[in-house]
Chain A
Amino acid sequence: MNENRRRLFPDQNPFSTVAVKPGAIVFRFGSNTGVRGGTEAAGLVTKLQENNWRGEIVGPHGSGKSTLLQTLFPVIEAAGRDVRYYVAKPKDKQLPMSAADQATWNESTQVVIEGYELMSRRNRKLLDRACRSRDAGLLITCHTPQGLPTLFHTAITVELAISLVEQLLPPDCNFISASDVRDSFARHGQNLRELLFEMYDLYERCRPR
């Protein structure tokens, strides 16, 4: 969260949704920051292209799949792709896009589905057929491999969690420490989202009023 926002709103919680939602934090690659895999965004898009614009990002809940997508979108668009982003919803009987929408897809369309596993088997087949028939690319996020070329496995380590919390906290904050993050990580493991929720509550409990 930038200094300007802190100045405008002194009661700002650095772990509020506005500061931690996908896109607000840049995805961190590389073993030195705790995320396994050293490929940068441009390299991943090249890999996606080599796979005929088909791929999957695999990882557990809250491990950064959506954040990685938000980081990749501008790079995919810069490669000339028209990104169409859809979010699958639980128990949704329909595809997450209309037939009219599908009719506008072509060979430069990059269909992106968040939460692919929430779609029924039938809808996954329909989607695959719709993409193939229009030569559109397909990029998905999922918790377990779904048969597309794997682009990236997201994973959170305690070092990454500590580093992100330190990045979000105001410089003068002295009431949340690395050991708080370690304790929370022990409870939530790979789920960074839950860890950041817990940091939100801790910040509200401890901040001076």
Chain B
Amino acid sequence: MEPLLSLQIAEPRRIYQPGDELECECQIDAVEAHEIQAVETSVLWYTEGKGDEDLGVHYFARRVPSDSEDRDLRPMHRFTTTLPNSPLSYSGKIVKVRWCARVRLFLKKGKELYLEQPFTLGNVATAQDAPS
């Protein structure tokens, strides 16, 4: 059975403004605690489009079993970060800017899984077609 990753963003609408605090909760299940090598949580933006891709990591934390009192990284873990002024989320024709929270699970067998949850930073209008 595949390990189960859960990642929740606290704000149900998932729309934030610069300076807001993003709060996330992640949890791991269906895997033994001793099989987990590390869990990385991050908040990042990346571009998507037809050209080169760009990426920026705004928040990053890596936890290993020794970071937990009972060496168990599976229980719910909460992390927060204050969101920056830029880049703002954008859905353009040539490029789109995505923001997301991400959790990556590293198992001792070398296997790796990840889950991401998107959110919107700012309120830049979506690109529209020029009127004909």
Please list the residues of chain A having a beta carbon within 8 angstroms of any beta carbon in chain B.
8-9, 11-13, 15-18, 197, 200-201, 204-205, 209
Rounded to whole Å, the gap between the CB of B27 and the closest CB of chain A is 19
- Binary per-residue interface labels of chain B (71-107) against chain A in the complex, 1 for a CB within 8 Å, 0 otherwise: 0000000000000000000010100101000000000
Measured between beta carbons, the chain A residues less than 8 angstroms from B48 are 9, 12-13, 16-18
A to B CB contacts below 8 Å, 6 in the list: A13-B50, A13-B96, A17-B51, A200-B49, A200-B50, A201-B50
Rounded to whole Å, the gap between the CB of A191 and the closest CB of chain B is 14
Please list the residues of chain B having a beta carbon within 8 angstroms of any beta carbon in chain A.
48-53, 91, 93, 96, 98, 116-118, 126, 128-129
Measured between beta carbons, the chain A residues less than 8 angstroms from B118 are 8-9
- Whether the pair A17, B53 counts as a contact (CB closer than 8 A) is yes
Select A209's contact among B51, B116, B126, beta carbons within 8 Å.
Answer: B126
Distance A16 CA – B95 CA, assembled complex (angstroms)? 9
- Whether the pair A11, B50 counts as a contact (CB closer than 8 A) is no
Measured between beta carbons, the chain A residues less than 8 angstroms from B128 are 209
Measured between beta carbons, the chain A residues less than 8 angstroms from B93 are 204
- Whether the pair B126, A16 counts as a contact (CB closer than 8 A) is no
- Whether the pair B98, A9 counts as a contact (CB closer than 8 A) is yes
Distance A12 CA – B98 CA, assembled complex (angstroms)? 10
Measured between beta carbons, the chain B residues less than 8 angstroms from A201 are 50
Measured between beta carbons, the chain B residues less than 8 angstroms from A12 are 48
Select B49's contact among A8, A16, A205, beta carbons within 8 Å.
Answer: A16
Distance A25 CA – B123 CA, assembled complex (angstroms)? 33
Nearest A residue to B51, CB-CB: A17
Apart from A17-B49, A18-B48, A209-B129: 7 A-B pairs, beta carbons within 8 A? A9-B96, A9-B118, A11-B126, A12-B48, A13-B48, A13-B49, A209-B126
Distance A63 CA – B51 CA, assembled complex (angstroms)? 18
Closest 7 CB pairs of A and B: A204-B93, A200-B50, A11-B91, A16-B48, A8-B118, A197-B50, A17-B53
Rounded to whole Å, the gap between the CB of A157 and the closest CB of chain B is 23
Measured between beta carbons, the chain A residues less than 8 angstroms from B129 are 205, 209
Measured between beta carbons, the chain A residues less than 8 angstroms from B51 are 17
Distance A201 CA – B92 CA, assembled complex (angstroms)? 12
